[in-house]
């Protein structure tokens, strides 16, 4: 049954093509028009509110309409909004670059600004390739990426992605990427547990490197969490061993910290947990706290030096976007980074992560249709399954995650699913009461859905919930 549309919804559907959407779905479930945000809450045109448990696609760190960030943005807007970034610079960009170099692993001394996550990936891929071309390693023309990887939506980024939902239709346009089976701790082929394994699955990467290292310019990876694949989480040891392989086989190591950087995993950057330094680090999303598009690629002096020469040698890196290093975005990023320094944010994330884990394990740990609850830092995921013992997936065509998402919205909770995985990635300023609402509402919605679907009988005690 179709919902009656508001005037704004009608106008939206006349002209707006929404991202990551089958627009026909909007006939039955029209877009919710948001009028304002405050803290972890979004308010629609009818003043219904929704707890933003996904940080509006993983970008919001300190809440909507954060007074400190909003003031910094306003002040900058009345001074300088943007300037060309070739042969020009500005103080916010300089300060952000200095802070990023100080905060990231040792050796990442150069910062290249772009304007979104996919652009950052393109920059890193191009830089790595051009570096090898300019240092005599001209056979290195391919990249190695993991199965189930996601690195963005532009053609280069799609080429190193491994989620068919996003890149299958574009295969004729994509680069010839070497694929290695990635870690899957939920369905581990070695029957190991994340806390005790020795990352045996790294052998799949080494097999490809041993055969193709002379052709491979770089390996690209999402550290600790393959987010778009369903919040697939793996231990830091895998990263450590991957860094060793990159050194052994002389290929660059690109870490895509776009989704997990700036505290999401409980440390400022995910790769810190492995004690490693990559050759390239891609940052975006949380860099501006959810306010404006901005990304950055950090790399080493060694890479930079391969481009530094007289103009006539044509070794310059000429990648450029109009809004590279946008002044407003850099000023906001500067405020966000300063907040990390002044407000003890990492300790706050770790404490709230422990609280979220306790609530979630109590809520979901024994539900028969939950194969696993997993969490790193302040990122949690519920893997819904048909059979808890065998880990049999639920039928994708039923879109069960989507059905639960719609029901949760009616209860005031935004938990956009990844297939049949529901996840939490709330703003860091979420309160204990708001976190409990998030967990309790998710549990209630899951139980109600499965009761409708298959006649599940559930009491408030998980021990008395059965198919």
Domain boundary among 342, 361, 383: 342
239/275 same-domain check: yes
Q: Which domain holds residue 364?
A: 32-65+345-466
135/41 same-domain check: no
Is 27 a domain residue? no
57 is in an annotated binding site: yes
59/204 same-domain check: no
- Scanning 283-399, the segments in alpha helix (DSSP H) are 301-305, 327-342, 345-364
Q: What is the pLDDT of residue 350?
A: 98
200/243 same-domain check: yes
- Strand, helix or coil at 456? coil
Q: What is the dihedral of CA 262, 380, 57, 350, to 10 degrees?
A: -30
61/164 same-domain check: no
58 is in an annotated binding site: no
User: Rounded to 5 degrees, what are φ and ψ at 266?
Assistant: 100, -10
- Strand, helix or coil at 447? helix
Q: What is the pLDDT of residue 455?
A: 67
Is residue 41 a contact partner of residue 52, using CB atoms and an 8 Å limit?
A: yes
The pLDDT > 90 percentage for the chain reads 93
Is residue 454 a contact partner of residue 467, using CB atoms and an 8 Å limit?
A: yes
337/349 same-domain check: no
Is 181 a domain residue? yes
Is 8 a domain residue? no
324 is in an annotated binding site: no
Q: How many domains does the chain have?
A: 2
Q: What is the largest CA-CA distance in the chain?
A: 75
* CATH number of the structural domain spanning residue 190: 3.40.640.10
361/335 same-domain check: no
Cα–Cα distance measured from residue 112 to residue 123, given in angstroms and rounded to the nearest whole number: 8
H/E run at residue 13: helix 7-15
210/235 same-domain check: yes
139/246 same-domain check: yes
Is 321 a domain residue? yes
* CATH number of the structural domain spanning residue 409: 3.90.1150.10
Domain boundary among 342, 362, 397: 342
89 is in an annotated binding site: no
191/174 same-domain check: yes
Query: Which pair of tokens denotes residue 187?
Result: 């369905």
Is residue 241 a contact partner of residue 318, using CB atoms and an 8 Å limit?
A: no
Q: What is the dihedral of CA 243, 260, 257, 203, to 10 degrees?
A: 30
Cα–Cα distance measured from residue 7 to residue 43, given in angstroms and rounded to the nearest whole number: 17
Residues of the chain with pLDDT under 70: 1-2, 455-467
Is 17 a domain residue? no
Side-chain half-sphere exposure of 274, counting CA atoms within 13 A: 22
Cα–Cα distance measured from residue 58 to residue 54, given in angstroms and rounded to the nearest whole number: 6
416 is in an annotated binding site: yes
Is 377 a domain residue? yes
407 is in an annotated binding site: no
117 is in an annotated binding site: yes
187/293 same-domain check: yes
Is 404 a domain residue? yes
Is 11 a domain residue? no
Q: What is the pLDDT of residue 225?
A: 98
337/350 same-domain check: no
321 is in an annotated binding site: yes
Domain boundary among 342, 367, 396: 342
């Amino acid at each position: 049954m179709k919902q009656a549309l508001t005037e704004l919804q009608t106008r939206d559907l006349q002209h707006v093509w929404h991202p990551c959407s089958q627009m026909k779905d909007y006939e039955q479930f029209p877009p919710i028009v948001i009028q304002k945000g405050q803290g972890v809450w979004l308010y629609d045109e009818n003043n219904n509110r929704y707890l933003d448990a996904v940080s509006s696609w993983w970008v919001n760190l300190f809440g909507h309409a954060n007074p400190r960030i909003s003031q910094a943005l306003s002040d900058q807007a009345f001074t300088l909004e943007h300037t060309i970034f070739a042969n020009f610079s500005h103080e916010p960009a300089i300060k952000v670059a200095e802070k990023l170099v100080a905060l990231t692993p040792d050796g990442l001394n150069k910062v290249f600004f772009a304007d979104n996550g996919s652009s950052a990936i393109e920059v890193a891929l191009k830089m790595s390739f051009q570096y090898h071309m300019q240092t005599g390693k001209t056979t290195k023309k391919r990249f190695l990426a993991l199965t189930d990887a996601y690195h963005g939506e532009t053609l280069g980024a799609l080429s190193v992605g491994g989620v068919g939902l996003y890149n299958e239709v574009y295969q004729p346009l994509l680069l010839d990427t070497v694929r290695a089976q990635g870690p899957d701790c939920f369905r581990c082929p070695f029957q190991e547990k994340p806390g005790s394994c020795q990352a045996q699955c790294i052998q799949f990467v080494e097999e490809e490197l041993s055969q193709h290292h002379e052709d491979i310019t770089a390996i690209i990876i999402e550290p600790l969490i393959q987010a778009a694949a369903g919040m697939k989480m793996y231990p830091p040891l895998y990263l450590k061993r991957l860094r060793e392989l990159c050194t052994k086989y002389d290929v660059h190591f690109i870490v895509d910290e776009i989704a997990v950087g700036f505290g999401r995993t409980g440390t400022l950057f995910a790769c810190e947990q492995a004690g490693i330094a990559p050759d390239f680090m891609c940052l975006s999303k949380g860099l501006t706290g959810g306010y404006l598009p901005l990304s950055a690629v950090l790399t080493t002096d060694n890479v930079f030096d391969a481009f530094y020469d007289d103009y006539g040698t044509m070794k310059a890196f000429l990648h450029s976007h109009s809004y590279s290093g946008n002044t407003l975005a850099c000023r906001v990023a500067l405020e966000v980074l300063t907040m990390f320094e002044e407000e003890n944010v990492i300790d706050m994330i770790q404490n709230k992560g422990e609280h979220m884990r306790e609530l979630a394990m109590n809520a979901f740990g024994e539900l028969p249709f939950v194969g696993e609850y997993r969490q790193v830092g302040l990122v949690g995921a519920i893997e819904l399954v048909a059979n808890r013992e065998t880990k049999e997936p639920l039928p994708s065509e039923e879109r069960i995650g989507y059905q639960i998402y719609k029901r949760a919205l009616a209860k005031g909770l935004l938990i956009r699913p990844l297939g049949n995985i529901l996840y939490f990635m709330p703003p860091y300023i979420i309160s204990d009461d708001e976190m409990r609402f998030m967990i309790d509402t998710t549990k209630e919605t899951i139980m109600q859905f499965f009761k409708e679907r298959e006649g599940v009988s559930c009491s408030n005690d998980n021990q008395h919930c059965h198919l």
